[in-house]
Amino acid sequence: MLLRGTTNHEDTEKAMILFCVLIALLVVSGCFYMGRARFGRLPQGERLDRISQSLNYRDGIFHNREPIPQIVEGGGGFGLWLKFLLRDGEGLTPPEALPVVKTDLKTLDPNADAVVWLGHSSYFIRLGGKAILIDPVLSDHASPVSFSTRAFDGTTIYTPEDMPVIDYLLISHDHWDHLDYDTVTALRPKIRHVVTGLGVGAHFARWEFPDEMVQEADWGEAVPAGDGLTVYVLTARHFSGRLFDRNRTLWASFALETPDRRVFYSGDSGYGSHFKEIGERFGEFDFVMVDSGQYDAQWPYVHMMPEQAAQAAEDLRTRAAMPSHAGRFNIAFHSWDEPFRRFVAAGSGKSYRLVTPKIGEVVDLGDQSQQFSPWWELGEKKPSAAR
């Protein structure tokens, strides 16, 4: 029914005006939110000039050394995100709080080489007398909004206050589940040095980290860290970006080397020839942490299936291997425990030892006989959500 004194045309105009006002408000609100500090900043000025000299940078973006084909037909764009948001939750999260061990990181022997998994891809490492923190996400979510990508129950046990002074913070790339604004800004007074890939330093500059604190490096470059420790920034097969701009900053893996030990962290990476090349370059690793979660048949080149991760560990010529990128957040369609089950099955009988600690449990790098329980076996199994 029309109001007295109005016409269909007038009502349509009013509706269109209201619609346009709402859209404008959404756009302004979105721009305001996305302009917040947590989104970081893209490289510019001298930082961008240096990036342009990289052999891995062409046409305004970084490129993988082994090309990544487009996501398979039907698996990309808005359809993929809609499918992700509407996915069935069966098996995606643990049925109960996960078993954890909260080790006091401040009291660990600084002269004993050790690794403490903090969940997903976050690690605290004591190596060569240095305290090293890799990709720390201590928040209870891994996204720009607190209601998305929530941590599993019982896994948010560490806070920035629990961390000792950090000699080296290593950031593999700028995705939200590896570079957490709340965590790194809270840790800033405790951090002495940051090592990351080219361009990622722009985010730290936006977050008021002094330029002299942050060292950016290209694939293959070495960063001397003092007392015999060297951090190598190495190849990975992935992508980067915190919003809509992709591949403007570099993604990387890391090798940590002292006179006594070598440790490798794959970052996020699909399987590729770089693992064998890294293994040949370093000869042997004592311990590796390899991406074996958040995989899917529709994005097979940016994350490894657990069987590929087991092969990558063998390519790296390691003595011990641990699955990474799982156990705290679910950013894929497979069940939460599937990465551990499949990695252990694929790694059985390999030349290396399987290492599967609980979150917070200390891995003694000097003890090759240390045993770990299958902690992910939580009573009755739910069907896998993987396809």
List, for residues 120-175, the tens digit of each pLDDT value.
Answer: 999 999 999 999 999 999 999 999 999 889 999 999 999 999 999 999 999 999 99
pLDDT at site 244: 86
Q: What is the CATH number of the domain that holds 202?
A: 3.60.15.10
pLDDT at site 21: 39
Q: CB–CB of 158/142 below 8 Å? A: no
pLDDT at site 88: 63
Tokens of 39: 């989104």
27 domain-assigned = no
18 domain-assigned = no
Distance, CA of 199 to chain centre: 16
156 domain-assigned = yes
Domain holding 282, by residue range, is: 105-364
- The three-state secondary structure class of 287 is strand
| Total domain count, the chain | 1
**Single-letter amino acid, residue 42:** L
258 domain-assigned = yes
Q: Which residues of the chain have pLDDT under 50?
A: 1-7, 9-35, 73-75, 380-387
Look at the chain and count its residues: 387
pLDDT at site 70: 72
pLDDT at site 382: 43
- What are the start-end ranges of the H helices in the chain? 8-34, 45-51, 77-85, 181-187, 201-206, 274-282, 306-315, 338-347
131 domain-assigned = yes
277 domain-assigned = yes
26 domain-assigned = no
Q: pTM for this one?
A: 0.88
**Single-letter amino acid, residue 131:** A
Interatomic CA distance for residues 159 and 145, integer angstroms: 19
384 domain-assigned = no
Tokens of 212: 């002299």
CA atoms within 13 A on the CB side of 74: 1
